[in-house]
Amino acid sequence: DAKTTQPPSMDCAEGRAANLPCNHSTISGNEYVYWYRQIHSQGPQYIIHGLKNNETNEMASLIITEDRKSSTLILPHATLRDTAVYYCIVMSSNDYKLSFGAGTTVTVRA
């Protein structure tokens, strides 16, 4: 029972913005959208999370649609080191299990 849908892969040019979509049409009112990434052979790394407002930190921006059925992670200036698998995860504030799906494999090309 996948809660999110992401494209399996995408390419991005170095220095350009990378826009990673995620569909979560069955999201509940108390569920947050989290993004993690996993660079090859490393542990997952937290990126950002949000409930309904757009969020920005030093790594990325998260844009959540008004109906909350989808969101977009934006890496403003992709570098080669951003090549990784990116996971969009929906989780309530009462939960603690991160459910990692297949994610989107992002390849940043020079």
Partner 1 sequence: NAGVMQNPRHLVRRRGQEARLRCSPVKGHSHVYWYRQLPEEGLKFMVYLQKENIIDESGMPKERFSAEFPKEGPSILRIQQVVRGDSAAYFCASSRLDKHPVNTEAFFGQGTRLTVV
Contacting positions for partner 1 (CB under 8 A): 32, 34, 38, 41-46, 49, 51, 91, 93-103
Distances (CA, A) of 52 to 13, 16, 64, 91, 95: 29, 26, 6, 13, 18
Of residues 40 and 110, the one with the C-beta less far from partner 1: 40
- Please, what is the minimum distance in Å from the beta carbon of residue 20 to partner 1? 17
- Please, what is the minimum distance in Å from the beta carbon of residue 22 to partner 1? 15
Of residues 41 and 110, the one with the C-beta less far from partner 1: 41
Of residues 53 and 110, the one with the C-beta less far from partner 1: 53
- Please, what is the minimum distance in Å from the beta carbon of residue 79 to partner 1? 21
Of residues 67 and 97, the one with the C-beta less far from partner 1: 97
In sequence order, which residues have a C-beta less than 8 Å from that of residue 66 and are 6 or more positions away?
none
Distance CA 59, CA 23 (A): 21
Task: Show the beta-strand stretches assigned E in the chain.
Answer: 9-13, 18-23, 31-38, 45-50, 55-56, 61-64, 70-75, 84-92, 104-109
- Please, what is the minimum distance in Å from the beta carbon of residue 55 to partner 1? 10
